[in-house]
Amino acid sequence: MNLYEKRLSNIYDWMAREGIALVMFEDTEGRRDKTIRWLTGQPGDALFFLSLERKCMLVPWDINLANAYATADIIRSYGEYNRVPRKAILGAAKKFNTPPGSKIEIPPSTSYPAFLGYVGDLNDYDIICRERCAVSKAQKFRAVKDEEEIKIYRKAADITNLLINLLEKNVRSGKIKTEADAALLIEVEARRRGCEGTGFETLAAGPERSYGIHAFPGYTRAAFAGQGLSILDFGLRLAGYTTDVTLTFARDPSAPQEKLLSLTEKAYTLALGMVRNGTAARDIAAAVDGHFAKSKKAMPHALGHGIGLEEHEYPSLGNRADNTWTLEPGMVFTLEPGLYDSVYGGCRLENDILMTDAGPEVLTEARIIRL
């Protein structure tokens, strides 16, 4: 059984328990879902159908790309269905001999007008569109990485660490003078080392813009790593999977700025010390929030999040009442405590953590760099 078959098997088993005859996944403009890549290897722009008979059909926009990258029982061009999702789902139902009256589930991202269109065109079937669905189930399955995914992550982390060291070297030597210098170096060096590129838009904020959680725009020609605090948040995408790290560069920080740095470093150490298999993710986030509260500070974002084919996946590491995630082997997630001040600027320290049977393995080497 190959890795895609193992992943598909979990979805098929869930379909059997739910009594769903046909499920559609969609990865198209405005309705992105990386689950299709996770289940087939298809890089994007496709519909994917799973039958209760444990067969699957991929309907890609680019048939040549699918033939090069994807694995599925059946691959049909979207053009065969006039690039109309409702025609494609009818084609899949016919291909799999789906009996009339069967339940067919469409993605929860489907708009209400589109849902009515499916109901009208597939009136021989029971069309289901809901939150607790195959898509949400697959997202939970994706929270625990398999051996192949972990192998990719270790390699991606190695490349990320090379770039972290290169960035520090070039900042110290003066080669990186602006936010754009830092961001463009990451883009070029990532591709030079075999990555698909960056996992998301790089956020490079010099001392004048580091007060924001996510700088807008992502980077400019403004000075970087000058006096004060500068933030650099980036990720590298390798074989579909992205890392996510944040460095803070501190040059001659003032006493209030040094306080922000010290509190953030201590928060990171506190969080990492609590990371254990079976630990409630919310408990770790609550401890960090409590740490900041003692100094009358507040972190305006979650402590961390899962990463994978998307930069934000499960598990959640936030201090919300509805966060019921517990840590377990195979999870890959960030720890990223940070503080931000409109006068003194901001700082964040973010690394990627792999849970193993023996406990946490810190994959990346992001740090606060004092210049």
Please report which helix (H) or strand (E) contains residue 26, including its range.
Answer: strand 22-27
So what's the architecture of 147-370 in CATH? Answer: Alpha-Beta Complex (3.90)
Cβ atoms of residues 244 and 352 within 8 Å: yes
Q: Looking at domain 3-141, which of 3.10.310.10, 3.40.109.10, 3.40.350.10, 3.40.1190.20 is its CATH number?
A: 3.40.350.10
**Other residues' Cβ atoms within 10 Å of the Cβ of residue 365:** 16
Share of the chain above pLDDT 70, in %: 100
pLDDT in tens, 87-128: 999 999 999 999 999 999 999 999 999 999 999 999 999 999
Sort residue 330 into left (φ over 0), alpha (ψ -120 to 50) or beta.
left
- What pLDDT shows up at residue 107? 97
Q: What is the DSSP string of 142-162?
A: HTB--HHHHHHHHHHHHHHHH
Q: What is the mean pLDDT of the chain?
A: 97
Cβ atoms of residues 42 and 25 within 8 Å: no
Kind of pairing between the strands at 74-75 and 56-60: parallel
Nearest to 234 by CA among 224, 218, 221, 245: 245
Nearest to 253 by CA among 292, 210, 220: 210
Is the confidence at residue 248, as pLDDT, over 80? Answer: yes
- What pLDDT shows up at residue 93? 96
Q: At what angle do helices 134-142 and 3-18 cross, to 10 degrees?
A: 140
Extents of the domains making up the chain: 3-141, 147-370
pLDDT in tens, 322-346: 999 999 999 999 999 999 999 999 9
Cβ atoms of residues 332 and 353 within 8 Å: yes
Name the pLDDT band for 1 (thresholds 50, 70, 90).
low
Give the Cα separation of 324 and 279 in Å (integer): 10
- What pLDDT shows up at residue 3? 85
Name the pLDDT band for 184 (thresholds 50, 70, 90).
very high
